[in-house]
Structure 1
Amino acid sequence: MSLYIDWRASVSVLGTIVKYIALTMLVPLVVAITYGDDIAVFVASILLTLVVGLALERLADDPDLGPTEALLLVSLAWVAVAVVGAIPYILAGYGTESTLAHPVNALFESMSGFTTTGATVLGSISVESHSHAIMLWRQLTQWLGGMGIIVLMIAILPEVAVNGAELMKSEAPGPELQKLTPKIAETARALWLIYFGFTLLLIVLLYTLHLTGMAPEMNLYNAIAHGFSTLPTGGFSTKAESIAAFSAIVQWAIIPFMVIAGVNFALFWQVLHGEWRALTDNVEFRAYAGAIAVLIAVLAFVLVRGAAPPMELGGVTTGLTENTIRQAAFQIGSLMNSTGYATADFAQWAPHAQLVLLFAMFIGGSAGSTGGGIKVIRWLVVIKSLRRGLYTTLHPDAVDPVRLGGRVIDEDAIRGIMVFTLLYILLFFGAAVFLALDSARIGYELSVLEALSASLATIGNIGPGFGSVGPFGSYLAFSNVSKLLMIFLMWIGRLEIVPVLALFVGGLEDR
């Protein structure tokens, strides 16, 4: 029995996507012209990407995507945009000692950007040594990847929207796709408009703080750059000290937008259409908001008890102060939904404070959000399924369906969630072991916590970990082999594992 997939159809549509990604480079090109740096880099990058996209488009005249072709396209698209995104980094660093001149480093940074991971190979010095255009491209890759490259293409390209439902099912974060309108292209546009609206609102707010003198360092460039990385829960910053480089009012302004980014965007669409109780009636939103509130309270309590270095040593103030509450709220708001910003070097905090943060990393955002991780909805189903398992052990004849928000969860959906969660945990632990062994091979000292956090930070698209990969550290010291593994983890984590693995374990359609 032979398995067949029309790869030409998938690659042809991929060419269309690559072609339009080239057009997004016009944004950093404008910045390059404004500041007079790296103009040739982006001109060359645009032309090269256009040529590749047009060549791939010609592989099929009228591509028809079935379910397996859709899986292949989505999987290839995220690899392709990362490769394309690395081109400006390599060209800008060519002939210099720039970290991003090395192809593996450039691909790591690009994949981290598009998957909104926020892990970086740039150290505290090299972050601010690159041009404004390169740094804005770095921020823009996160914004493009936040709501989904495929969702964007479905929203703007009729030829992609024809197969939009299959494509969005493969890319959508969470166990199921929520269709907001009769036409899938309209759903994609609605999600992107809400996403764009929140991004614009944050940019205006940050720049207003600058104009009023409350945030002198938050100029228009920085406001746009951080708007591009907050809503997609990306975490890249134009500053080596991340959001710690900005005033307290800026940090407070960003916190609610990080929380918003972890909410299912379909709920905002419902609220805008008059369903005022959509948020409060949603069981996942209540669990998400409750978890954030509880974890902030726990972390604040831990910090009050002195779990962080004193302020003069780069830590936080002791006692119940505004600074303590802000640090707790910011770190939980950032790490629970995988944003990855930081206002303090939590890699220097006491182990019990780091465990609170590690727990927050495992939860993740909501389904249908830009947040990473396992997702709140899956944890709710896992917990309720475990409860049912214990109950039916004592009552073998009982029929006890799993309910969520008054709705019975389909058994196939439960199995899918269990499979995803198990694969996620197995990949996380397996990758951590590999990173530890490979680091020992090259003589790079990596603690158990650092290996675990590096693995979790990449597969969960979180960004920073602990120790050397903390919020003010980098992943540069890892070997190229380890970096390639983490590139794979970022890729498969963004696609939520199953769609990718389905292509390799006999999931292709028999024709």
Structure 2
Amino acid sequence: MTRTIDKRATLSYVGSVLKYLSAAMLVPLLVAVIYAEDAWVFAASMAIGVAVGGGLERLDPDPELGPREGLAVVSLAWLAAAIIGAVPYLLAGYGTSSALAHPVNALFESTSGFTTTGATALAEISFDRHSHAVLMWRQLTQWLGGMGIIVLMIAILPELAVNGAQLMRSEAPGPDLQKLTPRIAETARALWAIYAALTLAFVVLLYALHLVGLAPDMDLYNAIAHGFSTLPTGGFSPEGDSIAAFSPVVQWAFVPFMVVAGVNFALFWYVIRDDPTEMFGNTEFRVYLGLVTGFSAVLAVGLFWGGAPTTAIGGATRGVAGNALRQGVFQVASLMNSTGFATANFAEWDTQTRFFLLLVMFVGGSAGSTGGGIKVIRWLILFKTLRRELYTTANPDVVRPVRLGGEVVDEEVIRGILTFTLLYFLIFAIAAMFIELDTTRIGQPLSGTEALAASLATIGNIGPGLGPLGPFGSYEFLPDTTKLLMIVLMWIGRLEIVPVLALLVAGVDE
């Protein structure tokens, strides 16, 4: 029997998400009023979002959500959010020479924000070219997308909470969803409360450094803006030089919060509930911290002994122990969990160091974190599965389950991880070939390594790549066809591929 997706119910739920998400534009609207800037841009954009969302919501006053509709709602809500999020950019750029006046660039910037990728289509980021309100909206989109748009809607909308577990499972980063409380809406609120509390703590820390004179450029605006993009592992900054624009003290302050952002947020719930053993007994958490520490040490030693040249931004690393350590720790903490901030132009570093950074990018953060990439837990299970297969090949009569943290991993979970990883590498490789060919077509070719890095930077929601797409570069010069491909890569990468591709087979026989 064939059952198709209930389009009216699906669009009705997507409309609800859009309507309430548009209310977030009140934040940049307030910023525009404070700085006497383009308040009309956000007033008009919010009106458009509410009108479109409300119109879709009326398609089905009492929608019912099945498994197929759940996949469709999650996939389409993220795409619709990116489209509505692009409206302020288009209105602000209308009639100017700004890159945001181009619809593809506006959609690219919005998608990059909501998916917490941090890749930018802006060649110049400054208050001379863009208003405080527009740049704050750019930051806020990352914060909204970090913990998840659907998770936020479940936390505030009772009607979505009825099917919340199914929706969160489709959106959550990682192979499994931890239900922290009996009711899924309470779980969503708990996750968002932890996320908001950590964001506030970081904003307070940054502004406190400013008040005591250790961070003269980290005013309240910058503190809030960087709080909005650090905990979601986003990477956008209103400063063109990213975190290199700030003092070493500020750069060190970012490190622990970037590392925290790559931890499964459910573990913080157990710490709050007086059960810290759950965190420190967690296998993925221990491996994640071990990898961050190990990678940081390797990179710092490499930089100290001459692995990278002196750069205009970031200062010398060769032979300067303190700077090498800071650069090594910061870049690993930023790139491993897909934050994408930078304190040095690593695109200019030597070949071996750049390949090492590509390896770091492939790892990803923890499941249940805001980090992108493949995720530490998937790598753990993949290696354990590989070891199991090698062992059972030599001992065919032995039945040996895969265990993680003393518990048997379900074979269905293993199949899901194998499927995801295969799709990830397949799409990554095909996209890299397309990017190299398409940039060659317009006479601005990327090398093979740069194309691979660009594909990884977008499907892994990392942001910066190599060459002209490095941490202080821009994606603006790329052809529209490549940017549209990257928009799709960012979208499916944030939703971890399967929910989006599953829609293609949603109508098969049951």
- 2:370 aligned with 1:370, yes or no? yes
Cα 1:125–1:405, aligned 2, differ >3 Å: closer, same or farther?
closer
- The TM-score, its normalising length taken from structure 2, stands at 0.98
Q: Using the alignment, how far apart are the partners of 1:235 and 1:312 within structure 2?
A: 21
Q: Using the alignment, how far apart are the partners of 1:500 and 1:124 within structure 2?
A: 33
What corresponds to 1:491 in structure 2?
491
1:335 deviates by 0.1
What corresponds to 2:12 in structure 1?
12
What corresponds to 1:71 in structure 2?
71
Q: Using the alignment, how far apart are the partners of 1:473 and 1:56 within structure 2?
A: 39
Summarize deviations over 1:173-192 as a string: whole Å, max 9, x none.
00011100000000000000
Cα 1:424–1:127, aligned 2, differ >3 Å: closer, same or farther?
farther
- 2:298 aligned with 1:290, yes or no? no
State how 1:86-485 maps to structure 2 within 5 Å. Answer: 86-124=86-124, 129-310=129-310, 315-485=315-485
- Letter of the aligned partner of 2:44 in structure 1? A
Q: Residue 285 of structure 2 aligns to a residue in which SS?
A: helix
- Letter of the aligned partner of 1:304 in structure 2? F
- 2:42 aligned with 1:42, yes or no? yes
1:128 deviates by 5.6
Q: Using the alignment, how far apart are the partners of 2:205 and 2:104 within structure 1?
A: 37
- Letter of the aligned partner of 1:147 in structure 2? M
- 2:62 aligned with 1:62, yes or no? yes
Q: Using the alignment, how far apart are the partners of 1:127 and 1:11 within structure 2?
A: 38
Q: Using the alignment, how far apart are the partners of 2:497 and 2:311 within structure 1?
A: 41
Residue segments in structure 1 that go unaligned for 5+ positions in a row: none
Q: Using the alignment, how far apart are the partners of 1:474 and 1:126 within structure 2?
A: 14
More divergent stretch after superposition (307-316 vs 109-118): 307-316
Contact 1:300–1:328 at 8 Å: present in 2 too? yes
Summarize deviations over 1:343-374 as a string: whole Å, max 9, x none.
00000001111111111100000000000000
Aligned length: 510
Residue segments in structure 2 that go unaligned for 5+ positions in a row: none
Summarize deviations over 1:312-339 as a string: whole Å, max 9, x none.
6754332252111000000000000000
Cα 1:329–1:128, aligned 2, differ >3 Å: closer, same or farther?
farther
Identity score, percent:
65
- Letter of the aligned partner of 1:19 in structure 2? K
Contact 2:4–2:506 at 8 Å: present in 1 too? no
Contact 1:336–1:360 at 8 Å: present in 2 too? yes
- Letter of the aligned partner of 1:67 in structure 2? P
Question: Over the residues paired in the alignment, what is the CA RMSD in angstroms?
Answer: 1.2
Ranges of 4+ aligned residues in structure 1 off by more than 4 Å: 125-128, 311-315
Contact 1:338–1:365 at 8 Å: present in 2 too? yes
- Letter of the aligned partner of 1:282 in structure 2? N
1:124 deviates by 3.6
Cα 1:509–1:192, aligned 2, differ >3 Å: closer, same or farther?
farther
Q: Residue 431 of structure 2 aligns to a residue in which SS?
A: helix
Contact 1:142–1:232 at 8 Å: present in 2 too? yes
Cα 1:240–1:312, aligned 2, differ >3 Å: closer, same or farther?
closer
1:508 deviates by 3.8
Q: Residue 87 of structure 2 aligns to a residue in which SS?
A: helix
Contact 1:255–1:330 at 8 Å: present in 2 too? yes
- Letter of the aligned partner of 1:448 in structure 2? G
Q: Using the alignment, how far apart are the partners of 1:54 and 1:155 within structure 2?
A: 19
